[in-house]
Structure 1
């Protein structure tokens, strides 16, 4: 009998591709939604990723459970009968909320709800999406190269709410699994900046960075990204789910480092006239800091101006045979997909 896999947050960017990859490999998939009414969008996204036979697979082997990370309700039922769990969902919220605990608490508590239900149900393995932000040095440190042995200091006052939420949630997850003598049933995946094609117009995620570049920003900031393709990231989750060698391990899923100006260069080179509005100049750091005073999303990024903290995926490559495609291909596919999946016009 084919195992059933629970994927949390099936409406999300990364989760949508995880659902697609699992269906492609023949699994029965159940995914959580926060409330009824989102099933059709998730099925349509999975079908788009699967191609010609997608609608049949999305109809016959994709099921749903209503569960929210902020509530205990529904999680026992969601994991019932599942052999594996991919905990991909993250709480909603910007990178700089007025109250950081509004993001940090739900991320930690939501992960623990999923893990508690999974362990109680006898799930064989949980793969949890963390972030490279959970394995990074303090911002004031010199440029660095990190691997899975590094742990972010959650007491670091320079951490943004999002980055702290990822570090706190992952550390709490490992602590919980140690207390339940189930550490080898957990694997964490730590992605870099996730780009690549969309499956649905609502699944934008960090692809919004490419969208803003295409829309005509006044210039690029000296901010860098460790580009990883969303399709390859989904593949890493599925590999980590079943590989015996992955038990109890962390895996970095990051690719090439590109400055924002290099992202812009790739878009102009690959898209031609479609990238006519992509900026050609780099803004001085002082100008970016001034803009950040009136742009909350940008304000959260200013501490990272000029920083180059790299994360190496050597362990995922060596243990799991994982690879990520060239960043230029990922960014071009992302840009073309944004054009194919415009946001609906309000009206």
Structure 2
């Protein structure tokens, strides 16, 4: 292992992506401090990271919450870099969108105020690919980081929260004249192995397919990317001089849900026999969404093939994601190993 490097703050240590960021930083010789909302969560983070690397005395914790100012000054103290990965917890499609938007936007600003006051060199903030998407997708459209999603009340609350939080971050940095620089990472649908079962996030999609409780799959497409590759992109954006002031899309190959289901069946053998592969008619999905609010966030993407270019991340940062079929199978195997299917 390399000599111990600088200290990096990773926000939201109990999160799916944050755990992998912590593990990879430790593997590369960094000291890591991570925020948790309660000290009672510290051992769960340490246990998850320990499945990949022995954190020893290089992993420490700070109690801080995105919804409050307390603790952020101490969290960033002595850190060279910040990976702002945390997102506020809660319903991804609340009736009042501001319940998701305000904590995401205000939380990002809390982190940036603390980081710039402390003279942190680089903040890398996790946004989302749907913050760089057109409101109306086209069949063969492909967008890049130059596009900003135009906010509108008709958009899902989660998509609005990511867009508005990232926009607020860039607006804040435009008025900052200090040494701190910002880069943002915009991932697609994040799957891959689990470090713990505390926060499944988007992995629940694969979990539901494995449980075989669905009568079929909707005509929804996802740009599948591995959580390890997204963590790697954060680390690359953290240290590359050319990443300062840049957005980086971190999406993978586009797969229809039916293709994801077929990959699971082909890659898992007997464990995948219950995965549904029948295509549900769009009208049936729309009718189901009338009574099932959890389906409503996917409605804008029904039948649409929206894609993003990752040429910038490949060219500037040398980033290369794994094949999407391998990602979903690795994710499923991890779910099975953790016995949560």
TM-score of the pair, normalised by structure 1: 0.95
> CA shift at 1:157, angstroms?
3.2
How far apart are residue 202 of structure 1 and its match? 1.2
**2:315 matched to which residue of 1?**
318
Contact 2:36 2:61 in 1 (8 A): yes
Question: How far did 1:294 drift?
Answer: 2.5
Q: Is the 8 A contact 1:202 1:343 kept in 2?
A: no
| 1:165 matches 2:168 | no
User: 1:124 aligned to 2:148?
Assistant: no
Any conservation in 2 of the 1:184–1:247 contact (CA below 8 Å)?
Answer: no
Quote the residue 2:25 is aligned against. Answer: 22
| Aligned with 1:137 (options 105, 117, 134) | 134
The residue number in structure 1 matching 2:50 is 47
Asked if the contact 1:174/1:183 (under 8 Å) is kept, the reply is no
Cα-to-partner distance string for 1:267-299 (whole Å, 9 max, x where unaligned): 000001101111120000111011112222112
**Is 1:247–2:244 an aligned residue pair?**
yes
Distance 2:195 2:56 in 1: 16
Superposed displacement of residue 141, structure 1: 5.2
Contiguous gaps of at least 5 residues in structure 1: none
Structure 1 residue 341: deviation in Å?
A: 1.7
**What is residue 199 of structure 1 aligned with on the other side?**
195
Deviation at 1:333, TM superposition (A): 0.6
Give the total of aligned pairs.
337
**Separation (CA, whole Å) in 2 of partners of 1:186 and 1:327:** 29
1:293 aligned partner = 290
Quick check: 1:113 aligned with 2:110?
A: yes
Mapped partners of 2:149, 2:104: distance in 1: 16
Using a 3 Å threshold, how does the CA distance of structure 1 residues 327 and 183 change in structure 2: closer, same or farther? Answer: farther
Secondary structure of 2:78's counterpart equals: coil
Aligned with residue 275 of structure 2, among 265, 268, 278: 278
Match of 1:259 among 256, 259, 279: 256
1:94 touches 1:297 (CA, 8 Å); kept in 2? no
In the TM superposition, what is the alpha-carbon distance from 1:329 to its structure 2 partner? Answer: 1.0
- Given that 1:111 and 1:173 are in contact with CA atoms closer than 8 Å, whether structure 2 keeps it comes out as yes
Question: Which piece of structure 1 moves more, 299-308 or 189-198?
Answer: 299-308
Q: Specify the SS of the correspondent of 2:183.
A: strand
Q: 1:211 to 1:182 in 2, by over 3 A?
A: farther
Q: Residue 121 of structure 2 contacts residue 180 of structure 2 at CA under 8 Å; is this kept in 1?
A: no
Deviations 1:13-61 (A, max 9, x none): 00000000000000000000001111111001111122xxx2xxx2311
Of the candidates 10, 13, 20, which is equivalent to residue 10 of structure 1? Answer: 13
1:233 to 211, 221, 230: 230
Q: Which runs of 5+ in 2 are unaligned?
A: none
Per-residue CA deviations over 1:153-193 (Å, capped at 9, x if unaligned) read 01x23310000000000000000001113597000000000
Residues 227 and 256, structure 1, Cα contact 8 Å, conserved in 2: yes
CA 1:130/1:335 → structure 2, altered by over 3 Å: closer, same or farther?
A: same
Runs of 4+ residues over 6 Å off in structure 1: none
Give the one of 81, 86, 90 matched to 2:87.
90
- In 1, the alpha carbon distance for the partners of 2:41 and 2:142 equals 40
Residue 180 of structure 1 is matched in structure 2 by: 176
SS at match of 2:62: strand
Indicate conservation of the 8 Å contact 1:227/1:258, yes or no: yes
Instruction: Pick closer, same or farther for the CA change 1:183–1:80 going to 2, 3 Å.
Output: closer
Deviation at 1:253, TM superposition (A): 0.2
Q: Is the 8 A contact 1:79 1:121 kept in 2?
A: yes
Whole-angstrom distance in 2 between the partners of 1:214 and 1:247: 41
1:31 aligns with 2:34: yes
Partner of 1:74: 71
**More displaced stretch, 275-284 vs 142-151:** 142-151
Q: Is the 8 A contact 1:183 1:248 kept in 2?
A: no
